[in-house]
Every structure is written in C-alpha cells, then in structure tokens.
Amino acid sequence: MRRTRTLTADEARLWRSAMRNVTPYKPLPPLEEPVPDPIPTPVVKAAAEPPPLPASQPQRRPNGVDGQTLKHLSRGERKVEAVIDLHGMTLQAAHGALRRFVETQAAAGKRCLLVITGKGGLDRPGRLKQEVPLWLETWKPPVLAVTNAQPKHGGTGALYVLLQRRR
C-alpha cells in the first residue's frame, strides 16, 4: 500500500512561488462549503391525490371498440393505411391539417392511421405531443381509439388512430 506524505511548510512555500505566474488550463471550481443539514420540518399529510396519468400512454376505450381490437392496435398489428407527419407545424396549422386528414381518410374508408407528432425536446415534451391526443378525443364520430405507436412507427412520438367503419 502506498503512503502519501504531506508537504512541509518550506516545500509548500516553494511550490506556491513556482506556480505564482501559472494560469490553470481549466479554472478550478470554487471550493464548496459544506451545507448545514436543514432543520427537519414536521410532515403534514395532505389529502392523497391520485397520481397523474403518464403522458406517454394516451389510450382510450370507447363504446364500440372491444379489448382485442384495442390490443391489436396498440401492439401495431393493424396495417397502417395512411400517415401524416406534423413535425414543424404550428398548433393552428397542425390542427387544421389533422382535421382535414382524418375527415379525408374516414371518407375514403381507411381504418388505421398513423399520426406523427414528434417527441419534443429533452427538457420538455412537445406541444403537439400533448395537444393532438386531446384533439382526437374530441372528434368522436370518426375517431374510435387513440394509442401510442410502436417503436417501429415512431414510439411515443407517434399515435395510432382507429377510425369508424364506413357504412
């Protein structure tokens, strides 16, 4: 085992005088003083709030969609018949484009759509990722179910949308 020795006062003085005119390549971080332990505060139990639903799991099971169909949709086992990419659009432009897309595809008899919203940045989720599932939920007549896409189709940055059958 290697022992470390401390410098004598003369060695420390000699070292400081030798290094007096040397500027460090990277400035050293300032020395941190130890922070005193905070005074513990009494814990007051508030009314238990239900945990928020994870944003990465938009999924809705309305009347008319059985569990098996929803399971196939969320696993990416249904054939994607049409795709729209909303990257780079403003909320207003994306809302109009998505509305026209859903109406056009529903009129054409398509059932499974892929809506690409993007995941947003590292520090915050994208606005489209938050808003698009809410929009789709309000368009009940053509939209039956909404769920996250599989990684092969964009993962949490994309959504599968199941439309009503055309009759």
- In CATH, what number is assigned to the domain containing residue 159? 3.30.1370.110
The alpha-helical segments, DSSP class H, found in 2-90 are 9-18, 67-74
Gap between the Cα atoms of 160 and 129, Å rounded: 13
* Segment 127-155, tens digit of pLDDT: 888 899 899 888 877 888 888 999 998 88
- pLDDT, tens digit, for every residue of 2-24? 677 888 889 888 888 888 888 76
- Domain count across the chain: 1
Type of residue at 27: P
Asked whether residue 89 is assigned to any structural domain, the reply reads: yes
What pTM was computed for the model? 0.60
Which residue, 157, 88, 81, is CA-closest to 112?
A: 81
Domain contains 43:
no
Residues contacting 116, CB < 8 A, separation 6+ = 83, 84, 85, 86, 87, 154, 157, 158
